């Protein structure tokens, strides 16, 4: 199950759990669409993997499987 992190790992912008602007790689590195496209050209700076739109978890499932509150910011 995806962790659904609450922020962009690059600029630390908040990303809502239902945002279509969240981008992730296969290791769940999470970035806002602006950083993913304009800074990283859709390539994860951590692992070199492809950055794609993060799926949205249905609201009913968030009740039993909530999003993460752990913020990750790359140096």
Domains located in the chain, CATH noted: 1-75 (3.30.40)
Q: What is the pLDDT of residue 47?
A: 95
Which of these, 22, 26, 29, 32, lies nearest to 56 by C-alpha position?
22
Please give the pLDDT value at position 75: 74
What residue ranges of the chain have pLDDT lower than 50?
none
Q: Supply the pLDDT for residue 50.
A: 98
Q: pLDDT value at position 39?
A: 98
Q: How many CB atoms lie within 10 A of CB 60?
A: 8
pLDDT tens-digit readout, 28-47:
999 999 999 999 999 999 99
Alpha helix locations (H) across the chain? 33-34, 59-64
């Amino acid at each position: 199950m995806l962790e659904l992190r609450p922020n962009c790992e690059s600029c630390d912008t908040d990303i809502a759990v239902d945002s279509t602007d969240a981008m992730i790689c296969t290791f769940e590195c999470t970035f806002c669409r602006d950083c993913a496209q304009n800074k990283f050209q859709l390539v994860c700076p951590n692992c070199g993997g492809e950055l794609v739109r993060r799926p949205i978890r249905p609201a009913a499932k968030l009740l039993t499987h909530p999003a993460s509150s752990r913020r990750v910011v790359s140096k």
